Amino acid sequence: MRRIDDPFGFGGPTTLDGPYDVVVVGAGPAGLFAGHRAAALGGRVLVVEAGHGMYASLCPRVRAAASGRPIRDLEKFRMQCKRCTCLVGVGGAAFHFDTNLGYINGLTRSKIERASDGTTRSYSGLERALGDFDRARDLVASVYEQFYAWGLTRTSPAQAPEPAPADPAAQSAHHRTASAVFQHSDAAPSQEITVDESLVVVGALLEELRSLGGELLMGTRVTAVERDDRGMFTITAGEHRLTSRNVVIGAGKLGLDWVRGVIGTLGVGHLSPRKVDLGVRIESWRDDLAPLTEACHNPKHSFLNDRGDSVRTFCVCPGGRLMAYDFAGGLALDGQHCITTPTTRSNFGVVTNVTVPDGVDGTDFALEFSRAAMKTGEGRPVVQHVGDFLGEPLSGPPVPCSLLETTETDLRALLGPELSSDVEGMITRLNRLSPGMVGAHAVIAAPVVERVYPDLELTHDLESTVPGLFFVGDSSSKIIGVTYGAVTGRVAAEAAMSR
């Protein structure tokens, strides 16, 4: 078989003899942890990845910088991609950029919702996915220890203070103000990781996977997963027909269309999602938004709107830039953390956990929002300055959006009155938290689309209604994020091997 070169010396397998104990689809954090854990437990494991090695999948501008070729005005040069295509490959989308890993001192209930009795309650998506808060917390801690063992710099206590104390008298002025402005504020410390560190961590993970007998097949797309009467799976991967006792799907956000096909073909139990995350990203000068990250790298401020839906800040990127990518016939935006080469701007998401109208498929509802934005922008992201959005005069020169191509438009027409009210409500609250934080010169960009997978019926070990078929990471419909994804991959692998 043709071997695929990889910077870590981990070429493709020379044979693909079955059956495998576990075939993992996707080599993002969830898939890599699933493959590693299953191999560590003695399983015969194959991880199949549509992209190539992590270094080969990096942004060409990043590779140029890493190879020592000079890049003048790196911020401007890296903005020249109209659409980001560095979202596949070993390591997944997250590890291809400087990024934020998540909590390091434990697990918090960072989200809120309106309970059936009308009260507001906080919760953790990982806790719900795994069925137990302590289990989820301990697994996050173990994932971090694994990252540290593979080369992640351990964050010192000075860099990662304990969460704000419950006693209001002992809390910082910032936290007391946030608690008064928002219904829920979570400033639990998190940890950042640079691309350089990601290359080290992923390389060490792959080396261990190989030493444990695991195999990695790159540059090969899985097109079909079938199951026979004996409970064995047949996986079509490129020109190969593989057999396995278990399949772990960690295809990531961009695998949505394919995963929906697998769900339909195998009859996986699922419902239309009743809630999807839709919204915008706000970008301004780094100094303006500095108060937002005073307490931690990635604060999560939330309130309930008049409809009882949660509105929250999402993925704060101090010193970062915006990025756009193609998504299921539409487009979507995200934020990049530019830790090693910070820019003069910062950005963050504002998302509403929207209740989908009765009788409407939630996934299609979210995708329609994405496609409507693309149509409005004639193929480009749509933007508007905060002053124009609020009907207020600009307080200074407008902030130039870091996206290369955009279409200026009336965002209220795209968002509709309800989402527009949510964005306005978040801006108002943030300016109460720190006057002038989101000025009229800041820019709003759309669309942001998250948590759009069908609501899969999974056990607390991530196994579907089809025995031996597991869904992890974004594909699980339960969680997003690097460490959460890694936890789900580990849990699924242990359950698969126990079968």
Token reading at 167:
């006693």
Residue 168 has pLDDT above 90, yes or no: no
**Where does the pLDDT of residue 384 fall: very low under 50, low under 70, confident under 90, or very high at 90 and above?**
very high
Distance CA 179, CA 191 (A): 23
Residue 166 has pLDDT above 90, yes or no: no
Secondary structure (3-state) at 22: strand
pLDDT the model gives residue 66: 60
pLDDT (tens digit per residue) in 394-418: 877 899 999 989 999 999 999 999 9
pLDDT (tens digit per residue) in 217-234: 999 999 999 999 999 999
Least confident of 51-65, 100-114, 189-203: 51-65
pLDDT the model gives residue 236: 96
307 to each of 114, 123, 352, 356, how far by Cα in Å? Answer: 10, 19, 11, 12
Mean pLDDT of 175-201: 88
pLDDT the model gives residue 64: 63
The answer to whether 1 touches 15, Cβ cutoff 8 Å, is yes
pLDDT the model gives residue 75: 42
Token reading at 495:
């359950």
**Where does the pLDDT of residue 93 fall: very low under 50, low under 70, confident under 90, or very high at 90 and above?**
confident
Distance CA 182, CA 56 (A): 43
pLDDT (tens digit per residue) in 14-73: 567 779 999 999 999 999 999 999 999 999 999 999 999 887 777 766 666 665 554 444
Residue 7 has pLDDT above 90, yes or no: no
Residue written as tokens 């950029």? Answer: 97
> What are the residue boundaries of the structural domains of the chain, listed by start?
20-96+195-271+454-498, 99-193+274-450
Q: What is the pTM of this model?
A: 0.92
Count of Cβ atoms closer than 10 Å to residue 348 Cβ: 26
305 to each of 183, 308, 349, 391, how far by Cα in Å? Answer: 11, 5, 17, 21
Mean pLDDT of 202-211: 96
pLDDT the model gives residue 156: 58
Residue 120 has pLDDT above 90, yes or no: yes
- What's the DSSP call for residue 463? B
Mean pLDDT of 349-372: 97
pLDDT the model gives residue 396: 79
Please report, rounded to a whole number, the percentage of residues in the chain having pLDDT higher than 70.
88
Higher pLDDT, 113 or 157: 113
Tell me the pLDDT of the chain averaged across its residues. Answer: 89
- Name the residue among 333, 315, 311 with its Cα closest to residue 383: 333
Q: What is the CATH class of 20-96+195-271+454-498?
A: alpha beta
The answer to whether 265 touches 224, Cβ cutoff 8 Å, is yes
What are the backbone angles phi and psi of residue 448, rounded to the nearest 5°? -110, 130
